[in-house]
Amino acid sequence: MLNGLRVITSGVVLGAILLSGCGNSAEPDEAQQEKSPVINEIPGETQNAEVIKKGVGDVIQSIKGMETELSAEADQERIQEMGKEMSSVWDSIEKQVEDEYPDWYERIEKNLYPLIGESGNPEKDLEKIKRLSKATKEDLQLFLEEVN
Q: What is the pLDDT of residue 14?
A: 41
Q: Which pLDDT band holds residue 44 (cuts at 50, 70, 90)?
A: low
Q: Hey, CA dihedral for 106, 107, 108, 114, is it positive or negative? A: positive
* This prediction's pTM: 0.65
Q: Residue 48 has what pLDDT?
A: 81
Mind listing the pLDDT tens digit for each residue in 60-92?
999 999 888 887 777 888 899 999 999 999 999
